[in-house]
Amino acid sequence: MAPVLTDSPVALVHGPFNGYGGNTRVEVNGAPQSVLTENPHECYFVPHGVKAGINKVTVTEGPKTASFDVFVPKLDIEADRTILEPSQSTGFLVRVSKLDDMPASAWKAGTPSESYNMDRIASIEPRFAPPAGGEGELLLIITDNTPQIATMNGAQGDRLVIPIKRTDLVNGTKEYRGTLTGVEKGTFNLDAVVVPLVAEVPGSLAETANPIAGGKGKPDCCQYWNPVVGNTCDDIVNSASCLEKIGGAYYKNSTCQDNGKCSLY
């Protein structure tokens, strides 16, 4: 998973998965998330409840859980004045912060082509080139939403692209100071986003024992479907009593199917 989460409405975790999103549980800071779609290689979910700074993402399928530390930069924009006259100038500040806990291992170079349009960034900033290995960077993209009111000095059109390296941070913070010049009288508007050019990081894996399985801790098909393990109902775990414990008396006489799924489930 990418170690930096910005304003994208969808987050991606690479598998392997069994391809059925209903068997996958994703949590952010302990809160369940909505899985949009899943295939054997990828799981997409809608991240809710994230906060600026470090966030804990867990992805669970069957007995296995992968945990990720994911960082969300905090963005602040300030200006000396917000209303300009023609030819009048003002300074502005864009601050990227809350990255002080992001380790060096999360700064390896990478290109998030599945989440961001790299060609569009190159069209905004012709000098842009994704990092070709080694340490990655974050791209701070500042947009002037009112170019008819004011222009940003040094911008390509109405945007500025500022690369941020790990060594540019001071206490997890990077500040960019720029200048706006008025075109006509009015109130200007700026916004900013961060695009991470860093590689995905592997999760920390943990495996939990099946709490219902009996006899030597063997996995039981009655709790989850895991064909990779080759689990089918056998004489070590009583499938009927297992099903009754999970689903109540209605399932007392049910049996496990050969594919590992419980019938009536």
pLDDT tens digits for range 90-118:
999 999 999 999 999 999 988 765 656 66
Contact 10, 44 (CB under 8 A): yes
Instruction: Give all strands (DSSP E) within the chain, no chain letters.
Output: 11-14, 24-28, 31-32, 34-38, 42-46, 53-61, 64-72, 74-79, 83-84, 89-97, 137-144, 150-152, 159-164, 174-182, 186-187, 190-197, 204-207
Question: Which whole number is the average pLDDT over 200-225?
Answer: 56
For residue range 110-148, what is the model confidence (pLDDT) as tens digits? Answer: 876 565 666 666 666 665 566 666 889 999 999 999 999
Higher per-residue confidence, 121 vs 217: 121
Q: What is the largest CA-CA distance in the chain?
A: 85
pLDDT at 20 over 80: no
CA 107 to chain centre: 15
Question: Would you state the pLDDT for residue 76?
Answer: 97
To the nearest whole number, what is the mean pLDDT of the chain? Answer: 79
Give the C-alpha distances (Å, rounded to integers) separating 221 from 118, 162, 184. 45, 53, 70
Which amino acid, one-letter code, is at 235? D
- The C-alpha atoms of residue 164 and residue 50 are separated, in whole angstroms, by 22
Amino acid identity, residue 74? K
pLDDT for 200 beyond 80: yes
Question: Would you state the pLDDT for residue 253?
Answer: 54
Domains of the chain: residue spans and CATH:
11-72+202-207 (2.60.40), 74-197 (2.60.40.10), 211-265 (no CATH)
Specify the range with the lowest mean pLDDT, choosing from 199-208, 230-239, 249-258. Answer: 230-239
